[in-house]
A and B are shown apart, each in its own frame.
Chain A
């Protein structure tokens, strides 16, 4: 329900603020220096549609990344049986040449077991040498 205007409101409505003087427009036009024409890069950068699309794409990427971390994580594959066999031979030769077993295990783990954790690689290399 709209209340009726009171006396002061009525008196205020009777006032009129004058229009801007006619020469103000001329002064504005004379004093204004228009910026150079916007480039296509500016058009893209300042476009609300582009900004919205960029924000949406970022959110989508973060969501996909978070989702895939739990669903599509690819397990790092360890070395195949042939590689293990070859490593054992190389390690044996290394030991025969005078290198320590520990040093050979570290060396082989760097080559064959890169991509798995350090602890896992040490364990696997040690197992291969035994």
Chain B
């Protein structure tokens, strides 16, 4: 892509866009906002040119770019913390009711962004804490701690709703 190759950009998108979109939904709680965030990341990466040559792990780098873009936008917007996580789907026959899905999505949406991010990346994307740490730019124990706090938060919220 540093050679100004559009094919390379398309390949980069195909390889990383699904995971980035998941990450973006976890952060923004909205697929529409997630689309904007992901688009912004790829547009920015395309303009980086030669600086891309110094990047070893493109995936982790793109995730960190996404995260920084989100935090930057959040600082400017001052996002409220009570919106449910929208866009998540339950496959047919999963044994979970619509009410359960809504409750879980709502509970996830109420978690602080960093904890929600750790829970979604670890559980929904199946990433190890090492990978979560690389993507979020924090030490492994911080990623694990955020996940534990997030799960504790979910238990607390869902338990209180019963």
Interface positions of A (Cβ within 8 A of B): 6, 8-9, 11-21, 24-25, 27-29, 31-39, 42-43, 45-48, 51
Q: Which of A11, A12, A24, A46 contacts B51 (CB 8 A)?
A: A46
B69 interface residue per 8 A CB criterion:
no
A34: which B residues are within 8 A, CB to CB? 1, 4-6, 9, 46-47, 49
B161 within 8 A of A: no
Docked CA distance A19–B49 (Å): 28
Q: Which of A12, A35, A38 contacts B104 (CB 8 A)?
A: A12
Judging by beta carbons under 8 Å apart, are B17 and A16 in contact? no
A-chain residues with CB within 8 Å of residue B5 when the two chains form the complex: 34
Which residue on A lies nearest to B100, using beta carbons?
A11
Give how many B residues have a beta carbon under 8 Å from the other chain's beta carbons.
53
Measured CB to CB, the nearest residue on chain B to A13 is: B123
The smallest C-beta distance from A84 to any residue of chain B, in angstroms, reads 61
Using CB atoms and an 8 Å cutoff, list the residues of chain B in contact with chain A. 1-6, 9-10, 13-14, 17-18, 20-22, 25-26, 31, 34-35, 38-39, 42-43, 46-51, 53-54, 56, 87-91, 94-96, 100-101, 104-105, 119-120, 123-124, 151, 154-155, 158
* Residue in A8, A12, A36 whose CB lies within 8 Å of B49: A36
Residues of the B chain whose Cβ atoms lie less than 8 Å from the Cβ of A43: 50, 53
**What are the 8 tightest A-B residue pairs by CB atom distance, in nearest-first order?**
A35-B49, A42-B50, A32-B46, A38-B50, A46-B53, A20-B21, A46-B54, A14-B94
Partner of A19, one of B18, B42, B154: B18
The residue on B at minimum CB distance from A15 is B88
- Asked if B25 and A17 sit within 8 Å, CB to CB, the answer is yes
Give chain B residues whose Cβ lies under 8 Å from the Cβ of A35.
2, 4, 46-50
> Which chain A residues border B3 with CB–CB below 8 Å?
37-38
Among residues of B, the one whose C-beta sits closest to the C-beta of A51 is: B54
Beyond A32-B46, A34-B9, A35-B47, is A15–B124 a contact (Cβ under 8 Å)? Answer: yes
Q: How far is the CB of A27 from chain B (nearest CB, A)?
A: 6
